[in-house]
Structures are given as C-alpha cells and as structure tokens.
C-alpha cells in the first residue's frame, strides 16, 4: 500500500471515531526515506497548515537536520498522534496545546506501526518520550537512552532515540547533548555505509 492510500484510509477511520471533529496531520516527506523522524503530536500551527513540525519546534528540527547535512525533503517526518491534543484555557477560552493522553496514543499506535512498515526506513528516530514509548512499546525514559540504538521493542531493531527538539527551547544545556546524539547517529550511519 502507498502512503497516500494509507492516509486516506486513516482519515476515514478517524471520521468514524471520537476524533471526527479533529483535523488530521499526516506524515510528510520522502516516501522511501532512510530516516523517519517521529514526533509527539501536532500543535496549533501544524493543525492550521496540515503539516508536521512547522512551528518553533519545526525550526529547531530543520536546524538539526541541516547540521547533519540533511534537508526535510530527504527524510520522512510524522507524529505518534495525528491530531492536535488541545484544551481550552479557563482564562481566555482559547484552545491550547497539551501533551497527548494515553487513549490518543493507543488509538494511533497500530496506524503508526503500519505507517512505519510502509515507509520502511533504515532508521526510526523518535523525538522525546511519547514516540519513544509508542514505537518501542517499552516503558523507556529518554533521559536514559537518548543517543542510543534501541533493539527489540515491538520487533524494531533500528530505533534511535533523540530528545524532542522543543526540549532545547526550554533547556539550552541540552543543545550540546543533542549535537552529540546527532553525531552518534551519523557515526552509526557511516559505519553501515548509509551516509
Ligand atoms: N510539532 C509536531 O508536529 N510534533 C511535535 O511533536 C511537536 C511539534
């Protein structure tokens, strides 16, 4: 099955679900990319544009990709949850982003696995705790396994864990750690002649 067909199928499944009122944000990029990046969930800007990682976190992500000589077009970018988790601000009544809840992650998990099966990347790079756990099915912590290749979870042997790019916005000290982790990913790819 092609990724466009898969997205159409998922769109109609969502329309039949409790998430029918939400606008889906599907994966984007090269359909046969070597690297698939998996984020958490779209935010407000992504929902408006219908593309993953277009806000501040997107700029950070693009910067990191550039640092390892990759462009957005050369990778595939998706999220564990394909809708914007949101809540209403009690003060302003405006819609705010929130972390996805377990039910949302669970709903999309089988589709995330199918999506990754279709793209079949050499490396699945998870960005933060939510996609790390959603892809591996393991109760891992990003602080313990960032910058490493994780084998075994849900049968994947090619999962590489990175911090979420937004983590750097809130914690500048992580910037160096992020750069080191990216270097480890490059090293791994070089050792396998993938780069
Ligand atoms: N934008 C996304 O698409 N995903 C994230 O995880 C964060 C921002």
Question: Which of these, 21, 38, 18, lies nearest to 127 by C-alpha position?
Answer: 38
Domain holding 176: CATH number?
3.40.470.10
Interval 111-122 mean pLDDT: 98
Pocket test for ligand 1, best of 39, 80, 108 (most atoms within 8 A of CB): 39
Task: Identify the pLDDT of residue 143.
Answer: 96
Question: Which of these, 152, 149, 148, 132, lies nearest to 140 by C-alpha position?
Answer: 132
- Give the tokens for residue 28: 């984007």
Global confidence as pTM: 0.96
Task: Identify the pLDDT of residue 75.
Answer: 98
Is 159 domain-assigned?
Answer: yes
Is 11 domain-assigned?
Answer: yes
Is 195 domain-assigned?
Answer: no
Is 8 domain-assigned?
Answer: yes
Is 194 domain-assigned?
Answer: no
As separate numbers, helices (DSSP H) first and strands (DSSP E) second, the chain gives 8, 8
Q: Alpha-carbon distance 123 to 37, whole Å?
A: 8
Start-to-end C-alpha separation, the chain: 27
Q: Alpha-carbon distance 172 to 151, whole Å?
A: 29
CA of 58 from ligand 1 middle (Å) equals 7
Residues with CB under 6 A from ligand 1: 39-43, 46, 52-53, 55, 57, 79
Atom of ligand 1 nearest to the CA of 45: 1
Q: Alpha-carbon distance 40 to 162, whole Å?
A: 12
Under a CB-based contact definition with an 8 Å cutoff, are residues 162 and 180 in contact?
no
Residue 159 forms beta bridges with which residues? Answer: 124, 150
- Give the tokens for residue 134: 């959603």
Interval 74-101 mean pLDDT: 97
Task: Identify the pLDDT of residue 13.
Answer: 98
CA of 108 from ligand 1 middle (Å) equals 15
How is residue 18 annotated by DSSP?
T
Give the max Cα distance, the chain: 54
CA of 188 from ligand 1 middle (Å) equals 25
Is 118 domain-assigned?
Answer: yes
Identify the band that residue 1 occupies on the pLDDT scale cut at 50, 70 and 90.
confident
Per-position b or e across 19-56, b if 16+ CB within 10 A of its CB:
beebebbbbbbbeebbbbbbbbbbbebbbeeebbbbbe
Task: Identify the pLDDT of residue 98.
Answer: 97
Per the structure, the count of domains in the chain is 1
In terms of pLDDT, which residue wins out, 41 or 60?
A: 41
Domain limits for position 15: 3-189
How is residue 138 annotated by DSSP?
S
């Amino acid at each position: 099955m092609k990724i466009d067909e898969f997205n159409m199928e998922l769109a109609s499944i969502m329309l039949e679900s409790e998430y029918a009122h939400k606008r889906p944000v599907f994966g984007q990029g090269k359909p046969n990319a070597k690297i698939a990046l998996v984020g958490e969930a779209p935010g407000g800007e992504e929902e408006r544009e219908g593309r993953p990682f277009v806000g501040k976190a997107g700029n950070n992500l693009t910067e990191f990709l550039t640092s390892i000589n990759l462009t957005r077009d050369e990778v595939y970018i998706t999220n564990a949850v394909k809708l914007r988790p949101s809540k209403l601000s009690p003060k302003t009544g405006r819609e705010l982003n929130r972390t996805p809840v377990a039910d949302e992650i669970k709903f999309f998990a089988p589709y995330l696995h199918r999506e990754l099966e279709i793209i079949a990347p050499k490396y699945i790079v998870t960005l933060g705790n939510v996609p790390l756990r959603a892809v591996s099915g393991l109760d891992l912590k990003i602080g313990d396994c960032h910058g490493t290749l994780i084998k075994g979870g849900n049968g994947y042997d090619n999962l590489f864990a990175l911090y979420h790019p937004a983590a750097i916005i809130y914690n500048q000290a992580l910037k160096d750690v992020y750069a080191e982790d990216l270097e480890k990913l490059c090293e791994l790819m070089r050792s396998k002649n993938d780069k």
